[in-house]
Amino acid sequence: MTDESGDGQLEARLAEQEAFEPSDDFIEQANVADESIYEEFEEEWPECWTRAADLLDWDEEYTEILDDSEGPFYEWFADGTLNASYNCVDRHVEAGDKNRVAIKWEGEHGNTRTYTYQDLYREVNEFAAALRDLGVEEDDVVTMYMPMVPELPIAMLACARIGAPHSVVFAGFSAEALATRMNAAESRYLITCDGYYRRGDPLDHQAKANEGLSSVDHGVDATVVVDRLGDDGFGHDLKGNQHDWDDLLADFQGDRVDPVERNAEDMLFLMYTSGTTGKPKGVKHTTGGYLAYTAWTSHAVLDLEPEDTYWCSADIGWITGHSYIVYGPLALGTTTVMYEGTPDYPDRGRLWELVEKYAVDVFYTAPTAIRAFMKWGPEYPESYDLSTLRLLGTVGEPINPRAWKWYYKHIGGEECPIVDTWWQTETGGMMVSTLPGIGTMKPGSAGPPLPGIDARVVDTDGEEVDAGQAGYLTVQRPWPGMLRTLYRNDERFIDEYWDEYSDPDEGEWVYFPEDGAKIDDDGYITILGRVDDVVNVSGHRLGTMEIESAIVGVDGVAEAAVVGGDHDIKGEAVYAYVILEDGYDGTEETRDRIIEGVEDAIGPIARPEEVTFTPELPKTRSGKIMRRLLEEIANGEELGDTTTLRNPDVVSDIQEQASGD
Ligand code: PRX
């Protein structure tokens, strides 16, 4: 990061400071402020997890906390029953908080909608009634392909109410990505939206949804379309079993649907995420463990109280939005803010305008956003009153110390602790982070594992590394929010996460998240990034294999290799190296077709930053592409060992091509 990024103004004191303490004011009011919590969780494990479960209302109390008899297919609170929608909505109404705001929504243009818990109760019930009428039954997977409109959390909670797991597909994904996910889950229902606004323009989302639907292999029983654009819409007719959200709901005004009593281990939702192979993985989360864990971490790490106005600027289409816009905050009865647009429209002060307007107490965002704020300069946040903020958080990728300090100074006014939270789609909730009322913060290092989480950094043999050494992050004991399996693919579940370090004969199961990490002598963990073929673009996880197969699908492409290279704002960006078939040239037109191919197959977020044409790819003697070299080329770094290459000459050719761009 260069000095023009705004933090040139950081005082020398701040720049050199390596450790930060939470203020007394923060500690005094923190939900968790006693250090003994770490010891208590250790001594009382696994009973300690009742603290998480106690944040929920159970229909039938569980008698067993953890069933570890069939590791790694762990079960949590397994004989308990509950309903997630009841926990996120009804119980707050019943407790007398019906007029508290549940969701504050702001559209890109500044139009707003406010849902109290009573409003949310009404809307969720009516939509649950509509879903039932459309034929949705318990355990049917309902797909949602929606932008940031309030109907998305309403639909999620309506599904939870009737025990139908949802599978939310990020709206920025392509039609093809939607179809792949609906096919994989054999999902027969789709909730979508006509469009949304991006930087002032209406986007035609329904066209993508319709195109996706046309590639679904099985019958689709019903589609519901939210009308977001009104007169700005693209005039799509609703055909056959497609229903307009409002028209549909008109028939269910005032209807109530009893929340279905779900077993704790029943699936709450599926979320597809990228892995090493080209096929997305259907991560399965359950009702009891997941909800307890997101509520607990919202309480302990985000320090949320019902009185708070809390804003997580992620998209609900990713796990961060599921856990920390919808389920965690609503389970605690907090006010959660949803914003439709981007941080720089209509101007670069937009987010801070919203923090001031809604008097946001806790703000959670991604390092990529913070790096953009830095680049834009401190004058934007300085124009707004951010004094209501009491806690800041980051998630999704490593945060460099300078970005951390910029966030601390210019957004938090040197008063707010920052929680740098490491976790994944698979973990359901936060795993490694300081507790804001307890821990010393060290910029760049996420912190110690949360209480009860046994995260360790090991070498390739599974032995713990010494302090200061790099190794692989592992989690050596189960936790309530963990994924239970990959949907309909137990074998891949074991292969992907448990094969590396477990000793099944001894009944020892070690979870491997595929991240590199380093541990300090005080137990703080610094995350070094993915060690598998996954790139992290702006905190969004993309499989290089998925991108490669999209590129290979483009006319004239013979072979492709994709790697992640460093990027100032995005953290990582996609770099593609492409071999063309004879008769095709590496022209601008070919490049455009490749980019279009990736956007069609996955979405604009996977768009290659650079496409380099090459007659060959660097391969080992056994024929494996040497991605490390390609990464070094992408980063303009000095090349490491090339002696094991079958075709060492190719490297300088590629370097020339790449620098010639
Ligand atoms: O590499 C880690 C990175 O994001 C990956 C998980 O991506 P995803 O499942 O999409 O979930 C993102 C939001 C939870 C991890 O394997 N990652 C996440 N948080 C951090 C991080 N890397 C460093 N520091 C973090 N705080």
Q: Which are the contacts of 45, defined by CB distance < 8 A and separation ≥ 6?
A: 452, 477
d(CA 497, CA 455) in angstroms, rounded, equals 14
Residue 641 falls within a domain, yes or no? Answer: yes
Q: Name the residue of 274, 424, 442, 605 to mutate for ligand 1: max ligand atoms within 8 A of Cβ.
A: 424
Number of domains in the chain: 1
315 alpha carbon – ligand 1 mean position (Å): 15
Q: H or E stretch including 294?
A: helix 287-300
Whose alpha carbon is nearest atom 8 of ligand 1?
Answer: 424
Residues in the chain with pLDDT < 50? 1-6, 661
Q: Tell whether 557 is covered by a domain.
A: yes
Separation CA 357–CA 620 (nearest Å): 57
Q: The CATH number of the domain where 619 resides is what? A: 3.30.300.30
* Cα separations in angstroms, 536 against 176, 273, 316, 406, 544: 21, 12, 18, 22, 10
**Nearest-angstrom CA–CA distance, 80 and 487:** 22
Residue 363 has what pLDDT? 98
What per-residue confidence (pLDDT) applies to 621?
A: 81
The confidence score (pLDDT) of residue 2 equals 42
Identify whether 581 is part of a domain. yes
Helices 175-185 and 205-213: crossing angle, nearest 10°? Answer: 40
Instruction: Report yes or no on 145 lying in a domain.
Output: no
Establish if 609 belongs to a structural domain.
yes
In a domain, 446, yes or no: no
Res 108: pLDDT: 95
User: Nearest 10 degrees: CA dihedral of 638, 644, 649, 650?
Assistant: -80
- CA angle 585/590/594 to nearest 5° reads 135
Q: Can you give the pLDDT at residue 620?
A: 83
Ligand 1: which of 395, 427, 538, 602 to mutate, judged by most atoms within 8 Å of the beta carbon?
395
Give the integer Cα–Cα distance in Å for 502 and 505.
Answer: 9
Geometric angle at alpha carbon 17, from 11 and 22, rounded to 5°: 105
Beta strands (DSSP E) in 355-512 are: 362-365, 391-395, 418-421, 455-458, 470-475, 485-486
pLDDT attached to residue 9: 61
Give the structural domain span for 545: 533-659
HEC sequence for 407-436? HHHHHCCCCCCEEEEECCCCCCCCCECCCC
Task: Name the residue at shortest CA distance from atom 18 of ligand 1.
Answer: 396
d(CA 654, CA 540): 27
In a domain, 206, yes or no: no
Helices (H), 431-578: 490-497, 544-552
ipTM: 1.00
Which of 397, 473, 605 to mutate to test ligand 1, by most ligand atoms within 8 A of the CB atom?
Answer: 397
The answer to the question of residue 67 being in a domain is no
